Amino acid sequence: MVGAYYFSALLVSVILMLVYCFLYHRHFDIHLSFLFALVPLNNLAQLLCCQSKTLDEAILANKMVYVSNSYLILNITLLVFSLCSVKLNQYVKLLLYIITTLVLACALQIGENELFYKSVELSIQDGCASLVKTYGPLHVFYYAMLVVYFLIGLGVILYSFFKNAQISRGFIVMMAIPETFSLLSFFLGRSLFPSIELIPFFYDLTLIVYLIIAHRLVLYNINETVIDTIVQKGETGFISFDFKYRYLGSNDTAKLIFPNLVGLKIDKTIPVTAGMDDSVMKWLYEFSEDNSRDKVYYHDDDKEYLVTVGYLYNGKSKKGYQLFITDDTKNRQYITLINSFNRELKAEVAQKTANIIEMHNNLVLAMASMVESRDNSTGGHIRRTSEGVSFLVEAMRGSQEFQINDTFCHNLIKAAPMHDLGKIAVDDAVLRKPGRFTPEEFEKMKTHAAEGAKIVHEILKTTDDEEFRKVAENVAHFHHERWDGSGYPLGLKGDQIPLEARIMAIADVFDALVSKRVYKEAMSFETANRIILEGMGKQFDKRLEKYYNAAFMRLVEYYTTVNND
């Protein structure tokens, strides 16, 4: 008789689990699914315990009971939090799982020591086995855990009932029933019926309550209610077809938009005489060939409709096609207005941005010119080196060896005038000296590279163009470094020197050689060219030689026209 009770409880729980699977929706909480899996497991363990022939079999089945019970009570509590929309911190949830597992670990020591059960014996009455046990000191933690979880769940339910107006009161009352059942099954049931466990019976009642809750969750599905509302309001037109393009029907709104739908025969393809080959039927054919072509705009007099083509579903099965037609006139007018405003705003912003950039560039050039006016050159160094750099990068453009892009070329040409800004920090007595520098004076002069990098950084630190800022800083900082490592300020060697600084170095030295200074005459192009070529592999990157040679005649033509002014 007792065995039949446990078997019936297991059978009922399995049936309830299958019903839940039939009702299942993706929006169901995962803890709800756990309950419908754990209760049959618990009832199976109770049945196995009853059918045990030996003490070891009964202990093993009893351990399965503890496993399912422990996580059942925890998941009922966590489900209350979820259904009452009370947010529980993930770390707190993890802590509860850890506590449950630790208490369960103690229960799994049954038969191994006397901490959870002091003693345990097998008793068989009327063909049903049960354990006669004396609880050990650790068993109190198991009961304490059950009571704490019950009180936590009950507290959340009471709080939601009185404080959360967004939760149905009937819903909250139903959630209190499983909480009560779970506690009664452990304490009151064992007092009234010590010979059998009422836990399977109460758990089956719990699942019935949660099936009702699951059914009500479907009623709270916003997607379904929204669709019903749209249909009732009549703001959206619907036209349905099967996969053979046979007309299945349409609502009144669709018939107002497409009057030819009136009088069409159900289960028949739309005839050519209906005049919808270039509209409805065309959209269906296009969507069937390419599902991404699911939206189209349809114009009718002064109205503009958005037509969305999709599949017609029956449950999860595709049965045909559905057209949704909504009046999008106001939205399209609004979008047109916004687009027009955005175009005007974009043009205005672009103009103002161009003005700001131009002003910024002019300020930089003015600062560079001011620095140049303090130098002992004859002037025009900034302009000439910038042109020299542009000739070199033009020769390098498209190079597979360095793989420079248009952005790099643009940034380097734009940064070239800034390469000597650091000279503003050099004392006039050194900067304007007409003859050769003493070692001490040359050390002071060499500081202009690092100072220039600092100045460029301060000027450009708020710019959004990070690539340009980096190129400009490198040009100012490293244009006096040498390929063999004998340059300054850091003594960089080879590829340690940024490419932009290596290119700048050639243009800078070439200008210094062919330009007149107060302390020297201009060299001939032939002499300057020989010096530059002799420096390849020592002062300059040898790989840049071919690009320098390609740009040499343009340099000569340019310097011939400017006459060193």
Q: How far apart are CA 423 and CA 451, in angstroms?
A: 8
Q: Is 337 within the bounds of a domain?
A: no
Alpha helix (H) ranges present in 164-251? 169-186, 188-192, 199-219, 222-233
Burial of residue 40 (CB within 10 Å: 0-12, 13-18, 19+) is buried
Q: Is 343 within the bounds of a domain?
A: no
Six-digit token pair at 255? 């018939």
Q: Quick one: what percent of the chain has pLDDT higher than 70?
A: 86
- Together in a domain, 18 and 147: yes
CA 137 to chain centre: 50
Q: How far apart are CA 452 and CA 473, in angstroms?
A: 8
User: Taking residues 97-106, what's their average pLDDT?
Assistant: 90
- pLDDT at residue 518 is higher than 70: no
- pLDDT at residue 495 is higher than 90: yes
Q: Are 506 and 392 in contact (CB under 8 A)?
A: yes
DSSP assignment of 385-452 equals: HHHHHHHHHHHHTT-TTT---HHHHHHHHHHGGGTTGGGGGS-HHHHT-SSPPPHHHHHHHHHHHHHH
- Together in a domain, 448 and 406: yes
Q: Is 352 within the bounds of a domain?
A: no
- Together in a domain, 60 and 197: yes
Tokens 């299942």 belong to 24
- Together in a domain, 231 and 206: no
Q: Are 412 and 503 in contact (CB under 8 A)?
A: yes
Q: Is 341 within the bounds of a domain?
A: no
Which pLDDT tens digit goes with each residue over 23-56? Answer: 776 667 788 888 888 889 988 988 888 888 898 8
User: Taking residues 1-8, what's their average pLDDT?
Assistant: 82
Which pLDDT tens digit goes with each residue over 459-481? Answer: 888 877 889 889 999 999 999 99
Higher pLDDT, 175 or 103: 103
Degrees to nearest 5, angle at CA 109 with 106 and 110: 115
CA 425 to chain centre: 48
Q: Is 490 within the bounds of a domain?
A: yes
Of 219, 242, 264, the domain-final residue: 219
- Together in a domain, 262 and 305: yes
Degrees to nearest 5, angle at CA 134 with 55 and 39: 65
- pLDDT at residue 222 is higher than 50: no
Q: Is 386 within the bounds of a domain?
A: yes
DSSP assignment of 198-216 equals: -HHHHHHHHHHHHHHHHHH
Degrees to nearest 5, angle at CA 487 with 482 and 488: 130
3-state secondary structure of 310: strand
Residue 378 has a pLDDT of 44
Q: What's the mean per-residue pLDDT of the chain?
A: 83
Looking up residue 439, the CATH number of its domain turns out to be 1.10.3210.10
Residue 520 has a pLDDT of 75
Q: How far apart are CA 62 and CA 46, in angstroms?
A: 7
Which pLDDT tens digit goes with each residue over 147-169? Answer: 888 888 888 888 888 887 666 67
Residue 481 has a pLDDT of 94
Domain residues for 16?
A: 2-219
Q: Flag whether the pTM goes above 0.85.
A: no
Looking up residue 45, the CATH number of its domain turns out to be 1.20.1070
Dihedral pair phi/psi, residue 450, rounded to 5°? -65, -40
- Together in a domain, 510 and 553: yes
- Could you tell me the end-to-end alpha-carbon distance of the chain, in angstroms, rounded to an integer? 116
User: Taking residues 277-304, what's their average pLDDT?
Assistant: 88
- pLDDT at residue 354 is higher than 70: no
Residue 321 has a pLDDT of 93
Helix axes 30-50, 55-83, angle to 10 degrees: 160
Q: How far apart are CA 449 and CA 513, in angstroms?
A: 20
- Together in a domain, 403 and 293: no
- Together in a domain, 301 and 382: no
Of 219, 250, 273, the domain-final residue: 219
Positive or negative torsion for Cα 151, 21, 170, 167: positive
Burial of residue 523 (CB within 10 Å: 0-12, 13-18, 19+) is middle
CA distances in angstroms from 181 to 104, 150, 429, listed in the order given: 21, 10, 97
Q: Is 61 within the bounds of a domain?
A: yes
Candidates 327, 330, 301, 311; CA nearest to 237 is: 327
Q: Is 200 within the bounds of a domain?
A: yes
Of 185, 219, 253, the domain-final residue: 219
- Together in a domain, 238 and 211: no
Number of domains in the chain: 3
Which pLDDT tens digit goes with each residue over 412-460? Answer: 988 888 888 888 878 777 777 777 778 888 888 888 889 888 988 888 8
Which amino acid would we find at residue 277? Answer: D
Find all residues with CB under 8 Å of 160, minimum gap 6, and list them.
84, 85, 86, 167, 172
3-state secondary structure of 129: strand
Element (H, E) at 480: none
- Together in a domain, 269 and 408: no
- Together in a domain, 272 and 159: no
Looking up residue 234, the CATH number of its domain turns out to be 3.30.450.20
- Together in a domain, 196 and 237: no
